[in-house]
Amino acid sequence: MSDNLSTFFAGVRRISPLTLGVAPFGMICGAVSVGAGMPEWGAIGMSLIIFAGASQLVATQLMAEHASMAVVILTGLVINMRMFMYSASLAPHFKGMNPVKKGVLAYLLTDQAYAISVARYGEPGSEVINKPLYYLGTAVTMWTCFNVSTVLGAYLGALIPPQWNLDFAIPLTFIAVVVPAVKDRPSLFAAVVAGLVAFFANPLPYNLGLMVGAVSGIAAGYVMERRQSDG
């Protein structure tokens, strides 16, 4: 196997355990969309085009409540604003790439692909790997899992007993992403502050609590890191 293929499949292997949490999430997105009156092909197309589970669920709810298209789009953009931070973090690792290729990588960006890739880039020896290909391995795995699950949810969602409560897998997925990234006091402090702020800011409209929590966590981690370095 060539080095490039080995790098790609290393990303696939690293992120594969997280598909256990993403699959139920995708099924929920497909089932909720159809349950709100969307045809199966519409639910599948929504996942293919938007590819952002949290935004899709909120957008579906807003459309079911007959919200204006401007509100639906703005809310989706607000929820996904964290992707701007992810992109800024990944940009130095993808220098010199063709803009079209960068666009493809941006479309595939997810919380899980970002977290796994950044964690690998910080490990010893990462300077010799093909970073875009490693990221692609993680991202394609997430894309495939989520969209296949959406198809299953769209067509089989009505058959899933409500008492199964598959939505429990969503927070578990993010816990699995966050915990390995907490390696020192600044990252722990950032995670705790982000979680607490997001919890108490949850009542904010348009899911702004998520963004407020993320920004608060970044600020807290930065301050803690500066204090350690100054000390």
Do both 30 and 131 map to the same domain? Answer: yes
Q: What percent of the chain has pLDDT over 90?
A: 24
Residue 114 token pair? 């970002």
3's torsion region: left (phi>0), alpha (psi -120 to 50) or beta?
alpha
Do both 146 and 72 map to the same domain? Answer: yes
Is 172 among the domain residues?
no
Do both 160 and 69 map to the same domain? Answer: yes
Averaged pLDDT of the chain:
83
Full DSSP string of 147-209: HHHHHHHHHHGGGS-GGG-GGGHHHHHHHHHHHHH--SHHHHHHHHHHHHHHHHTTTSGGGHH
> Mean pLDDT across the stretch 34-52?
88
Q: Which domain holds residue 208?
A: 182-231
Res. 220: pLDDT tops 70:
yes
Question: Residue-wise over 59-76: b if at least 16 C-beta within 10 A, else e?
Answer: bbebbeeeeeeeebeebb
Is 175 among the domain residues?
no
Positive or negative: CA dihedral 119, 80, 29, 206:
positive
Contacting residues for 19 by C-beta, under 8 A, at least 6 apart: 141, 142, 145
Is 177 among the domain residues?
no
Q: Give the span between the Cα atoms of 76 and 34, in whole angstroms.
A: 19
CB of 10 closer than 8 Å to CB of 135:
no
Res. 173: pLDDT tops 60:
no
> Mean pLDDT across the stretch 213-220?
82
